[in-house]
């Protein structure tokens, strides 16, 4: 009857931002070098920690027979490990999700959309939101005027400074979306690390003239963490912090200006 891992489920039905946020490592004495996304609850962690023979010498580079035993070679160590010749090696070394793709833009062109993450995994909410944006683009529901202001802020382009009539014309819709909707990648750098928060705010700001419409859509989307009763979007508050600490976070003036614009548009979502 004892239901292991229930807190895992309990935690996500509550407001995650009010909860102590949690990460875990396999061995408390080993400093991890990367961040991964599977949820490893208490029961699973306890099971994994039963394995005491953990070898940390880098990636395996060869499995060779030597004097009727098997030698395992590594890329980060000259030492090798020896195993009995009937040992079974389980190959779990595939790249897994994301496939090391180098993605710079999602709205590639007027003719092509690339599906990639807007947020940290799970993947499906990002794709659902891209579906919403694409449908809203097609049915002219996006707040493109505001989107263009966001674009101008980060690309330090001031439309009022443009001299010629030609330049005063709005940019193509796809060009604007390409310039303000960023893919979430596993690359380092603060801009990248906070991209989930930024993309959520941009989605709410441009998804419709009224931010309450994309907000309600997100709240009703089963794939969204916001569909969990009691959870809050907090984009307004996050933009406030990003304006305040933008420079320390490594953002350019243009980005900080964009956060200001987002904060203004999302005021209706304050404390939501």
Partner 1 sequence: MQVKKLGEKSSIIMSRKKSTLLACDYLVIGAGAASLAFIDTLITELPSVKIILVDKNSVPGGHWQHAYDYVHLHQPSVIYGLASKQLEGSWIKLILKLTLPWKHRASKKEIVKYYGDFVKEKIAAKNLIYYPNCVYDFEKGYSFSSLDETFSYEVKVREKVVNGVLGECVVPSQNPVKFPVDDGVIVMTPNELYKAYNDSKLQKWNKKYVVMGGGKTGMDAIVYLLNTMWVKPRNIHWIIPHDGWFLHYGDPWSRERALLRTNGDDEMALELLEKSSELVIILYIVCNISYHCFLMV
Q: Which is nearer to partner 1, 99 or 164 (CB)?
A: 99
Contact 46, 2 (CB under 8 A): no
Question: How far, in Å, are 150, 202, 205, 237 from residue 265 at the CA level?
Answer: 11, 10, 6, 12
* Number of residues binding to partner 1, judged by CB under 8 A: 126
Residues 140-169 that bind partner 1 (CB under 8 A): none
Which of 83, 57, 60 shows the shortest CA–CA distance to 70? 83
Residues 52-71 that bind partner 1 (CB under 8 A): 52-65, 70
Q: Which is nearer to partner 1, 149 or 181 (CB)?
A: 181
Task: Name the 3-class secondary structure at 73.
Answer: strand
Residues 101-120 that bind partner 1 (CB under 8 A): 101, 103, 108, 110-117, 119-120
The H-or-E segment that residue 172 falls in is none
Please report how close the Cβ of residue 53 comes to partner 1 at its closest, in angstroms. Answer: 5
Please report how close the Cβ of residue 42 comes to partner 1 at its closest, in angstroms. Answer: 7
| Contact with partner 1 (CB under 8 A) among 149, 152, 235, 238 | 238
Question: How far, in Å, are 117, 185, 186 from residue 99 at the CA level?
Answer: 12, 11, 11
First-to-last alpha carbon distance for the chain, in angstroms, is 37
Contact region with partner 1 (CB under 8 A), list: 20-28, 156-164, 201-209, 262-270: 20-28
Q: Which is nearer to partner 1, 104 or 167 (CB)?
A: 104
Q: Which is nearer to partner 1, 61 or 264 (CB)?
A: 61
User: Taking CB under 8 A as the rule, does residue 227 contact partner 1?
Assistant: yes
User: How many other C-beta atoms can be found within 10 angstroms of the C-beta atom of residue 112?
Assistant: 10
């Amino acid at each position: 009857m004892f239901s292991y891992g229930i807190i895992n489920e309990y935690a996500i039905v509550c407001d995650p931002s009010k909860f102590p946020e949690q990460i875990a490592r396999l061995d408390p004495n080993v400093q991890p070098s990367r961040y991964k996304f599977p949820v490893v609850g208490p029961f699973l962690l306890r099971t994994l920690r039963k394995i005491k023979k953990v070898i940390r010498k880098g990636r395996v580079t060869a499995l060779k027979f030597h004097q009727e035993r098997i030698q395992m070679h590594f890329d980060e160590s000259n030492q090798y490990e020896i195993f009995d010749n009937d040992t079974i090696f389980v190959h779990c070394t595939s790249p897994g999700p994301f496939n090391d793709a180098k993605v710079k833009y999602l709205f590639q062109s007027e003719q092509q959309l690339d599906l990639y993450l807007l947020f940290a995994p799970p993947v499906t909410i990002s794709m659902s939101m891209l579906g919403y944006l694409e449908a809203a683009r097609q049915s002219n529901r996006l707040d493109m005027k505001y989107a263009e202001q966001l674009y101008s802020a980060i690309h330090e382009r001031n439309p009022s400074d443009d001299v010629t009539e030609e330049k005063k014309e709005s940019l193509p819709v796809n060009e604007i979306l390409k310039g303000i909707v960023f893919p979430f990648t596993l690359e380092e750098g603060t801009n990248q690390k906070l991209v989930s928060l930024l993309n959520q705010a941009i989605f709410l700001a441009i998804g419709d003239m009224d931010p309450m419409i994309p907000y309600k859509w997100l709240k009703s989307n089963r794939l969204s963490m916001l569909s969990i009763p009691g959870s809050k979007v907090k984009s307004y508050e996050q933009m406030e912090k990003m304006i305040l600490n933008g420079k320390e976070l490594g953002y350019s003036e243009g980005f900080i200006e964009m956060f200001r614009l987002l904060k203004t548009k999302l005021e209706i979502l304050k404390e939501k």
